[in-house]
Chains A and B, each alone.
Chain A
Amino acid sequence: MKVVKVLSLFAIVLFSSNSIQAQKYFTRTGNIVFSSDTPMEKIEASNQKATSVLDVETGKIEFAVLIKAFQFEKALMQEHFNENYMDSDNFPKAFFKGEIVDLSKIDLSIDGIHPVKVKGALTIHGETNDVETDGTLVIKDGNISANSTFEVAVADYKIEIPKIVRENIAKIVSIAVNIDYELFKKKS
């Protein structure tokens, strides 16, 4: 009887332990800001509705964003962005599929700020390029957030800037990604 009790207690502990290592993390409120800085003009647009999934077991990280959800201060710039540069009617999304390198080497159960390398495939305007960038993974009170700022050459994604505004838009734009994750709970 005692053995059964001990075994069942052991089983309960085993199956209820939510070790951070076996979890998928998710958000639909990821924040992405892109900026273009030239002597002529500083352009900035932000999107607060990026989705992202992080699988801490495999290190796989993905995020997706709707182009038309980027908000600019100037309505005209937002129009040009969608109609002329990004062609968002035909390419409504941009996404990244990759992995955090050596995530298993990080102890995610301890609060801390961890520098990480992320690499994978970034698709913008229908064009895909392999990218590798630095980022940080922040663990605080059991919550995970990921941040990274990287640069993208506009031409790599076949985005054409018309001659008339070529001085106003940078050839290399900066993209800042800030994602606060939640545990992905499947509703049974």
Chain B
Amino acid sequence: MKKYLKFFLLLVAVAGAFGYYTYHKPHQNMNNATTQIKLSATQLFSDYQVDETTANEKYLDKVMEISGKIKEVSTDEKGMTTLTLESGDDMFGIICQMDNLTKHNQTNFTEGEKINLKGICTGVLMDVVLVRCVKV
């Protein structure tokens, strides 16, 4: 009887620990995240212009590595940096919100700089928006 009790308690402890860690599990580490798709900023933008639904099927929620040229750098009042990449379009581009859960090696960016960014695609409004971006 005692053996079964011990085993049962162990099971409860393991289940409890599992539940605790799942509930408190951290967001994925973007530096370690595996790139699922590699694309140029212009290609990504054009894919969304051609067919948003198909582009979403391909890219939504995926960890993407985007290469492009920085069109604009902006920092909001909370210190969060957003880089807009050239898309080939005059008005709209690829917006990359830098990850606020990562300690970035580079925090100063310049317009015109060529850069590779890894982030998660969240879709398109007027620009294509990627969040949790890190420099590759």
Q: Which residues of A contact B (CB under 8 A)?
A: 28-29, 48-51, 64-69, 71, 74-76, 78, 82, 89, 92-93, 186-187
Do B123 and A92 have beta carbons less than 8 Å apart? Answer: yes
Closest Cβ of chain A to B85, distance in Å, is: 14
Q: List 26 A-B contacts (CB under 8 A).
A: A29-B74, A48-B97, A49-B82, A49-B95, A49-B129, A49-B131, A50-B125, A51-B126, A64-B125, A66-B122, A66-B123, A66-B125, A68-B120, A68-B122, A69-B97, A69-B122, A69-B129, A74-B24, A75-B27, A76-B22, A76-B24, A89-B56, A92-B56, A92-B60, A93-B125, A187-B91
Given A48-B76, A51-B125, A92-B123, A69 and B27 contact (CB-CB distance below 8 Å): no
Instruction: Kindly state whether residue B107 has any CB partner on chain A within 8 Å.
Output: no
Do A89 and B25 have beta carbons less than 8 Å apart? Answer: no
Q: Which residues of B contact A (CB under 8 A)?
A: 22-28, 56, 60-61, 74, 76, 80, 82, 90-91, 95, 97, 100, 120, 122-127, 129, 131
Given A92-B56, A92-B122, A28 and B27 contact (CB-CB distance below 8 Å): no
Give every chain A residue within 8 A of B125 (Cβ-Cβ).
Answer: 28, 49-51, 64-66, 93
Other A-B contacts than A49-B131, A76-B22, 13 sampled, CB-CB below 8 A, are A28-B126, A48-B76, A49-B82, A51-B126, A64-B125, A66-B125, A68-B61, A68-B123, A69-B131, A82-B61, A89-B60, A92-B122, A93-B123
Contact residue among A50, A65, A68, A76 (Cβ-Cβ distance under 8 Å from B23): A76
Contact residue among B26, B74, B129 (Cβ-Cβ distance under 8 Å from A66): B129
Closest Cβ of chain B to A157, distance in Å, is: 18
Give every chain B residue within 8 A of A74 (Cβ-Cβ).
Answer: 23-24
Closest Cβ of chain B to A81, distance in Å, is: 13
Closest Cβ of chain B to A76, distance in Å, is: 6
Closest Cβ of chain B to A178, distance in Å, is: 11
Contact residue among A68, A71, A75, A187 (Cβ-Cβ distance under 8 Å from B26): A75
Given A51-B125, A66-B125, A75 and B82 contact (CB-CB distance below 8 Å): no
Given A49-B97, A49-B131, A69-B129, A29 and B27 contact (CB-CB distance below 8 Å): no
Give every chain B residue within 8 A of A71 (Cβ-Cβ).
Answer: 100, 131
| A93 to B56 Cα, complex, angstroms | 12
Do B61 and A89 have beta carbons less than 8 Å apart? Answer: yes
| A75 to B80 Cα, complex, angstroms | 19
